[in-house]
Structure 1
Amino acid sequence: MNRQIAKYIQENTTEIISKWKEQMKEDENERSFQMTPPEIMDKTSREFADLMASNLLESHQAYENRLYDFSEKVVRLGWSITFVTKAITHFSEIVFDGMEQEGIITQNNTRDYMKEFSNWITPIRDKTIDAYSKTWERTVSLQKIALQELSASLIPVFDKVSVMPLVGTIDTERARLIMENLLEGVVKHRAEVVLLDITGVPVVDTMVAHHIIQAADAVRLVGAKCMLVGIRPEIAQTIVTLGINLNDFTTSSTLQRGVEQALAWTNRKIVEVDE
């Protein structure tokens, strides 16, 4: 029966995919089709259909390798785990209905085919969820590492003046890393003024503000001044609305103005030189 199911899928792939895509699009809560360009969706749909059929024919190891490769692809495309599980269920239903219409599945063998479909779909759903979860965890972990490396360095821009650009969401773990790198950088570069640039931080809430205040306090404890720069209008409005107290901070809307103030604190300024 496995080979019969695989043969039907291979001989009717185009029709199955067409019906499957229409059924998936009817789900108003699923946006995967809307986010994915049509040509990529068509190619990925065929890969999905081929993967479903290969589970019936290939060896366990060969199928596992293809499954993990496909999982990595759909994670990059932004397919949700809900979408993937619905895709498997709808695909099997379309195949079952099609085989019924062609007379392959009859009243005499319906029970046997239902058991065979269950034996086919249940393992592939479990393996797909497992592969998807592992791929997603690995992707998130790599993104987190990349973000940490990108946004937690203290950069000397002038003698005694350094900048730390913060990018992305700041959670407790990132705040700890920022604090460590900040204090190490202040000592290493002998900085007297540190500019914390939050231009790349999308949201500043109470927790983020708390982490920033802690970082600034730590900088002052090692003998340097701290300035908060890159405060966009919407961030300023959020800070006021939440009642976050930044009275102990010197703040600036842009990094350029912050640098000018930092130079003034160290008895320097930027001047234009006539040619």
Structure 2
Amino acid sequence: MNQEKLFEYIQQSKADIFERWLVTMNDIETGRIKSVVSEQVYVNVSSNFVNVVLSNAFRSLNEFSNELEDIVEKVVKLGWPLGYLTQGLRELGHVVVEGYLNEGSSNKEAHSEIFYHFDKWLSPVYNKIVEQYSSSWENTVMLQKVALQELSAPLIPVFDKITVMPLVGTIDTERARKIMENLLQGVVKHRSEVVLIDITGVPVVDTMVAHHIIQAAEAVRLVGAKCLLVGIRPEIAQTIVNLGINLNELITKNSLKKGIEFALEMTNRQIIDMESGE
């Protein structure tokens, strides 16, 4: 019976509980969150979170697991910390308890029993939130990693039979593997005869990076295409010479523009300037 009274209080006081919860959360986990989202977004997400928990008080966790999962996934996508949910759940429990105590509708013994059951119900909800947040976060990170890998080694067709792979940033073994994979797949897919690897955005070319590039060029040759290395800046050229790296098997150009012009010649084409009006 006492449990039913607490549930009745929660359902009748949702709006008041939420307003008091917002106040308690202001100095806890909301500073960084509010700096990147609007007040309206914060209030809407918070309202959904609190409403899902309060509306399902004392129900089996399985009955509203999907609703809880949707809230957690939204929080992860927004980049909010786990502490917003865990601390938020704790503070929600405190607000409910304090509010019910202020009602003064039961004796101390009855209160203790009610709060014991309420806390016992909150514990698996807390654990479920942590579990779902971790799972959703790992999935998000994995998807981002895949997307970044795809973006880190794109193969772009610029002319018929000519494709360009612009590289930006450092090249490690994992990325080198992706470069090789994308090159070979792209050459076949686009029926390329000439592939330009543009290293303008690669800050350092050491022996390992050069080795990976040479391997990629050799792999391209084996599938019937030719490879040009373009974007070799003066400092990169000096480094290559100082390290004694042999790029004799590679055609090199100092800019993408010159590389494309040479690639057109290799495919029996050229760029012709045409005066206006002729």
Which category describes the TM-score, using the shorter chain as reference length? 0.7 to 0.9
Equivalent position amino acid for 1:54 in 2: S
Q: Provide the residue aligned with 1:225 in structure 2.
A: 228
Shifted more, 217-226 versus 77-86: the winner is 217-226
2:98 — aligned with what?
Answer: 97
What is the rounded CA distance, in whole Å, between the counterparts of 2:108 and 2:64 in structure 1? Answer: 32
Instruction: Report the CA distance between 1:26 and its aligned residue.
Output: 0.8
Secondary structure of the structure 1 residue equivalent to 2:28: coil
Q: For residue 216 of structure 1, what is the aligned residue in structure 2?
A: 213
Q: Which residue of 2 aligns with 1:138?
A: 139
Shift of 1:74: 1.5
Contact 2:196 2:259 in 1 (8 A): no
2:258 pairs with 1:260: yes
Query: How far apart are 1:139 and its partner, in Å?
Result: 2.6
* Aligned-partner residue type, residue 43 of structure 1: N
Structure 1 residues 199-244: Cα deviation after superposition (integer angstroms, max 9, x where no partner): 6xxxx787x9787544422234345232248x9xxxx9xx99xxx9
Deviates more, 1:117-126 or 1:143-152: 143-152
Residue type at the aligned position of 2:129 = T
TM-score, normalised to structure 1, is 0.73
Pairwise CA distance, 1:193: 4.2
**195 and 5 in structure 1: CA distance in 2 versus 1, 3 angstrom threshold:** farther
Alpha-carbon deviation of 1:130?
1.2
Query: Does the CA contact (< 8 Å) of 2:164 and 2:196 recur in 1?
Result: yes
Same amino acid, percent of matched pairs: 34
Greater displacement, 170-179 / 43-52:
170-179
Deviation at 1:197, TM superposition (A): 6.3
CA distance in 1, matches of 2:174, 2:124: 37
**C-alpha distance in 2, partners of 1:42/1:153?**
40
Equivalent residue number for residue 183 of structure 2:
182
Structure with max Cα Rg:
2
Once residues 120 and 205 of structure 1 are traced to their aligned partners in structure 2, the CA distance between those partners, rounded to angstroms, is: 55
SS at match of 1:273: coil
Whether the 8 Å contact between 1:195 and 1:226 is mirrored in structure 2 is yes
Shift of 1:92: 0.9
Which residues in structure 2 correspond to 1:49-128 (within 5 Å)?
49-104=50-105, 106-128=107-129
Q: In 2, Cα distance between the equivalents of 1:18 and 1:209? A: 59
Using the alignment, how far apart are the partners of 1:168 and 1:16 within structure 2?
50
Q: CA-atom RMSD, angstroms? A: 3.8
Which residue of structure 1 lines up, in the alignment, with residue 17 of structure 2? 16
List alignment gaps of at least 5 residues for structure 2.
222-226
Which ranges in structure 1 are unaligned for 5 or more consecutive residues? none
Q: How many residues align?
A: 256
**Against the structure 1 CA distance between its residues 246 and 83, is the aligned structure 2 distance closer, same or farther, given a 3 Å change threshold?**
farther
Of the structure 1 ranges 190-199 and 16-25, higher mean CA displacement relative to structure 2 is found in 190-199
